[in-house]
Structure 1
Amino acid sequence: MFRNAMRLPFKLLGIPISLDTSFLIVLPLFAFLIGLQLPTYLRLLGITPEPGMLQGSTPYLLGLLAALGLFASVLVHELGHAVAARAFGVQTREITLWLLGGVAQLTDIPRARGAEAVIAVVGPLTSLALAGVSAVLRGLVPDVAAGQFLLGYLALVNLSLALFNLLPALPLDGGRVLRSLLALRRPYLEATRTAAGVSRLIAFAMGIFGLYAFNLFLVLIALFVYMAASTETEQASLSQALEGLRVRDLMTLEVRSVPPTLSVGELLQRMFLERHMGYPVVEEGRVVGLISLEDLQGADPAAPITERMGKLEAIAPEASALEALKRMAECNFSRLVVMENGRMVGILSKTDLLRALQVRLVGQTVRPGGSGA
């Protein structure tokens, strides 16, 4: 999802944390805007500014601290989701902070009845708890204007995060709660489509209000919600179409590999003759990487293929077909090497997945007992 994200050198609760490049742009922007609006925030919070607080670089330094507090709050919000998901046996692959907040990328959608609603609602509850803690601390700390502002801002922003995320629009938490409740009585795909329809209406209303109020950020959120609602429907359709299929069912068993001693020109000739667009690179029986036609763009024909070889992306034969499709999308790879007990047992291409997907989707449109014509 976030191909330009920078992974931080530490984990929280065992979960990798990444910063999308858009975060690095929006952080100083938020710091500037908060610093610019500092007098308004002080009036709203009932704080009398101290001498020099509104002069020079001080407002923008406070704005930076407040912006960092905002994104730290978003991170804790996403960690709340991750902890709740772990209770249902679903792991979190990564948490990414970006332009519009944070995203916890779960390894799977929890299938237990009502589980998605529980996981979703924990996020706003976490933000409400942070708002409460910030408000209590504000009453306990010394009456220093800067400290009062930062704690007051965190209380206000966490309350806003909780309320905003409870809107019944996918992919917000309220939308996931709505879908989970609908799925108690309807098929999951139908519940997703209904929730997506509600999401588009809310996004449209949000966008109109954002244009009326000249709030560009709200318009961006509206566009994100509208597009994400469609993505959720597509994901649900894919999940249903590929349900029950494993990598083992779709992989190609007869794998053609190439040695690392080949030159780019020799590999291109081989691709032309064998009509293959990618190969695992095998050295002494060990898979050392993958090479595809895309990797050879602009390469010197005399250069060894190891100079253009991509890293090895492997998957287990018992992994789900949907997981394989997600891995390909995240890594921007068109094929995965299937490994079992350290040995290559097959290869899975995006074409294999798309072919299975087409067959399943056609099968869903054919009525039982009909000719399918």
Structure 2
Amino acid sequence: MFSRPIRLPFRLLGIPVSLDLSFLIVLPLFAFLIGSQLPVYLQLLQISAPPELLQGPTPYLLGLLAALGLFLSVLIHELGHALTARAYGVQTREITLWLLGGVAQLEQIPRARGAEAVIAIAGPIVSVLLSGFFTVLRGLLPSSAAEGQFLLGYLGIINLSLALFNLVPALPLDGGRILRSLLALYQPYLVATRTAVATSKVLAFGLGLLGLLVGNLFMLLIAFFVFMAASAEAEQAVLNRTLEGLRVRDLMTREVSVVSPSLSVAELLEKMMLERHVGYPVVEEGRLLGLISLEDLQGASPQTRVQERMRPPLQLDEYTEALTALQRMAEQGFSRLLITDAEGNLVGILSKTDLLRALQLRAAQMSLSNQSSPPLGRA
């Protein structure tokens, strides 16, 4: 995705929905393309349309309705994933609609064997059911209702196409997740991911080559997306494996330099110069109140108190999983997290440096462990 998503002011079944900026760009483009090719769709669907249907703004209005129906279908497809994941105890952080459709961002990959395949197949099943639903509705309309015949016929075909496309065995498509989950039944998850990623890259290369040969820009875009997303899946799998079992309290720095809310800006700047820090937790009697950094001091007078310029901190409980902490940092754009206990008292600070150091150490441990293990088939 290309930008920070725009969060919509409602939830679907408790799940936040966001729009990427690319969605707002591609929606009118899809409406134009569908409208300009309306005669082709009418011929494909065997619809006899009155001449006025192809004149003026009518084709583009139908194109807009069809494009909205397409993205609504994608949203329902993603809801299928989210609700199935919920059945396994996995929550969905949000559903985002963007240039190439939608994505349901699960908080974690379910650990039950085969669960990822079940969650992945739910989306195509929903799309097939939608295709059948629209096809049945179309059959109930009189043939003279050309507009309705077109919209329902288009949505029937596009949902079936959506299901088939998503079953291609390439990450991050549903077919790639099904492939990885099935491979993980017989081999370690990391190995299964690498096999699925290799398959995905081969398919992406083939799709890109085909796109070049036929001059299809959209096909090239999908191939590029699959290749890059597959690489990201491999990195995420290694990250998950490396940080597995680690919690924030295992990695955080416990000795934290703090400031009082009554400290003046002049005194804080002197402390920053002395300790070479540009940000401090604001603490009073052990309790975390906020965070103050050099950026927050812009325009403040020397006599201004810290409590007047501090901002809410990004904080986590000390028993939070390390991977969750890393995700929160990436989402919020923070380089440090303040760690508190159950009573809200500051107990440490976690920086990206702490996480990177942990990744390096765990990777080295895993490498030594693999080297010391005897090869398969030998005592």
Q: Same fold (TM over 0.5)?
A: yes
Which range moved further: 208-217 or 320-329? 208-217
Deviations 1:72-107 (A, max 9, x none): 011000000001101111010111111111111111
1:348 counterpart SS class: strand
For 1:263-274, list aligned pairs within 5 A: 267-274=268-275
Instruction: Tell me which residue corresponds to 1:333.
Output: 334
Letter in 1 for 2:317: A
Alignment check: 8 A CA contact 1:264 1:300 kept = no
In the superposition, relative to structure 1, how do residues 264 and 213 fare at CA in structure 2: closer, same or farther (>3 Å)? Answer: farther
Structure 2 Cα separation of the partners of residues 369 and 201 of structure 1: 30
2:349 counterpart SS class: strand
Deviations 1:311-337 (A, max 9, x none): 422212111111111111111111112
For 1:204-353, list aligned pairs within 5 A: 204-260=205-261, 267-282=268-283, 286-292=287-293, 295=295, 299-300=298-299, 302=301, 311-339=312-340, 340-353=342-355
In the superposition, relative to structure 1, how do residues 212 and 53 fare at CA in structure 2: closer, same or farther (>3 Å)? Answer: same
Which range moved further: 117-126 or 315-324? 315-324
Structure 1 Cα separation of the partners of residues 307 and 56 of structure 2: 55
Deviation at residue 216 of structure 1 after TM alignment: 1.5
Which range moved further: 193-202 or 309-318? 309-318
In the superposition, relative to structure 1, how do residues 350 and 2 fare at CA in structure 2: closer, same or farther (>3 Å)? Answer: farther
Instruction: Tell me which residue corresponds to 1:28.
Output: 28
Instruction: Tell me which residue corresponds to 2:375.
Output: none
1:287 counterpart SS class: strand
Instruction: Tell me which residue corresponds to 1:203.
Output: 204
Instruction: Tell me which residue corresponds to 2:356.
Output: 354
Instruction: Tell me which residue corresponds to 1:38.
Output: 38
Deviations 1:163-202 (A, max 9, x none): 0000000000000000001111111111101100000001
Alignment check: 8 A CA contact 1:22 1:98 kept = yes
Alignment check: 8 A CA contact 2:288 2:344 kept = no
Deviation at residue 10 of structure 1 after TM alignment: 0.7
Structure 2 Cα separation of the partners of residues 133 and 336 of structure 1: 48
1:22 counterpart SS class: helix
Structure 2 Cα separation of the partners of residues 322 and 148 of structure 1: 49
1:90 counterpart SS class: coil
In the superposition, relative to structure 1, how do residues 207 and 141 fare at CA in structure 2: closer, same or farther (>3 Å)? Answer: same
Deviations 1:43-63 (A, max 9, x none): 111112223111111111111
Return the TM-score normalized by structure 2: 0.90
For 1:8-27, list aligned pairs within 5 A: 8-27=8-27
Deviation at residue 282 of structure 1 after TM alignment: 3.8
Alignment check: 8 A CA contact 1:200 1:229 kept = yes
Return the TM-score normalized by structure 1: 0.92
Alignment check: 8 A CA contact 1:265 1:301 kept = no
In the superposition, relative to structure 1, how do residues 254 and 153 fare at CA in structure 2: closer, same or farther (>3 Å)? Answer: same
Which range moved further: 328-337 or 225-234? 328-337
Q: Which runs of 5+ in 1 are unaligned?
A: none
In the superposition, relative to structure 1, how do residues 277 and 2 fare at CA in structure 2: closer, same or farther (>3 Å)? Answer: farther
Deviation at residue 367 of structure 1 after TM alignment: 4.6
Structure 2 Cα separation of the partners of residues 310 and 3 of structure 1: 25
Instruction: Tell me which residue corresponds to 1:63.
Output: 63
Alignment check: 8 A CA contact 2:288 2:346 kept = yes
In the superposition, relative to structure 1, how do residues 264 and 350 fare at CA in structure 2: closer, same or farther (>3 Å)? Answer: farther
Structure 2 Cα separation of the partners of residues 302 and 264 of structure 1: 7
Instruction: Tell me which residue corresponds to 1:179.
Output: 180
In the superposition, relative to structure 1, how do residues 291 and 20 fare at CA in structure 2: closer, same or farther (>3 Å)? Answer: farther
Alignment check: 8 A CA contact 2:171 2:233 kept = yes
Instruction: Tell me which residue corresponds to 1:365.
Output: 367
2:84 counterpart SS class: helix
Letter in 1 for 2:139: G
Which range moved further: 308-317 or 159-168? 308-317
Q: CA RMSD in A?
A: 2.3
Alignment check: 8 A CA contact 1:263 1:301 kept = no
Matched, 1:111 2:87: no
Letter in 1 for 2:354: D
Letter in 2 for 1:257: V
Structure with the greater alpha carbon radius of gyration: 2
Matched, 1:139 2:139: yes
Structure 1 Cα separation of the partners of residues 158 and 362 of structure 2: 46
Counting aligned pairs with the same residue, the percent is: 66
Deviation at residue 296 of structure 1 after TM alignment: 5.7
Structure 2 Cα separation of the partners of residues 2 and 257 of structure 1: 37
Deviation at residue 344 of structure 1 after TM alignment: 2.7
Deviation at residue 342 of structure 1 after TM alignment: 3.1
In the superposition, relative to structure 1, how do residues 220 and 283 fare at CA in structure 2: closer, same or farther (>3 Å)? Answer: farther
